[in-house]
Amino acid sequence: GDSVTQMEGPVTLSEEAFLTINCTYTATGYPSLFWYVQYPGEGLQLLLKATKADDKGSNKGFEATYRKETTSFHLEKGSVQVSDSAVYFCALRDESSASKIIFGSGTRLSIRP
C-alpha cells in the first residue's frame, strides 16, 4: 500500500541555519504531495503542496520539489527562524483513493535563538 517515510526527529538548529527535512513516498498511482505544519496546541495546517512531477511548492520561505524519479518531496528553507519551531508532516493523497491521505510520522523542529 501507499506509505510516507520522513526524517526522524527531533531536529534542533540555530536561527538562520539551512533546513532540510527528508520525505520519501511509495504510491501505486500518481499522488499529490503535501507538507503540513503543526504549531503547539493547534491542528495541522497546510504549508505547501505539489500535484505533479517536477512541481515546486513554496510558502513562507519553505520549498519542496516533487521528484518522481527519487519518489521524494524534501522540505527546505534557507534561513530558519525561532517562529518555525513546530512539527512538520509530509503527506500524500493518491488519485485512486481521494478519500484517504497518508501521513508521515512527523518531524519536530526546534530553532535556537
Interacting residue ranges for another protein, rule: CB under 8 A: 31-32, 34, 36, 41-46, 49, 51, 89, 93-95, 98-101, 103-106
Please say which residue, 77 or 106, places its beta carbon nearer to another protein: 106
Q: How far is the CB of 98 from another protein (least distance, A)?
A: 4
User: Which CB atom, from 10 or from 113, has the smaller least distance to another protein?
Assistant: 10
| Nine cell digits for residue 9 | 526527529
CB 102 within 8 A of CB 2: yes
Nearer to another protein (CB atom), residue 17 or residue 53: 53
**Contacts of residue 56, Cβ cutoff 8 Å, sequence gap at least 6:** 50, 63, 64, 65, 66
Q: How far is the CB of 95 from another protein (least distance, A)?
A: 5
CB of 90 to another protein, least distance (A): 10
Q: Give whole-number Cα distances, 71 to 13, 25, 29, 66, 79, in Å.
A: 26, 6, 12, 8, 25
Please, which residue, 75 or 104, has the CB nearer to another protein? 104
The C-alpha R_g of the chain, in whole angstroms, comes to: 14
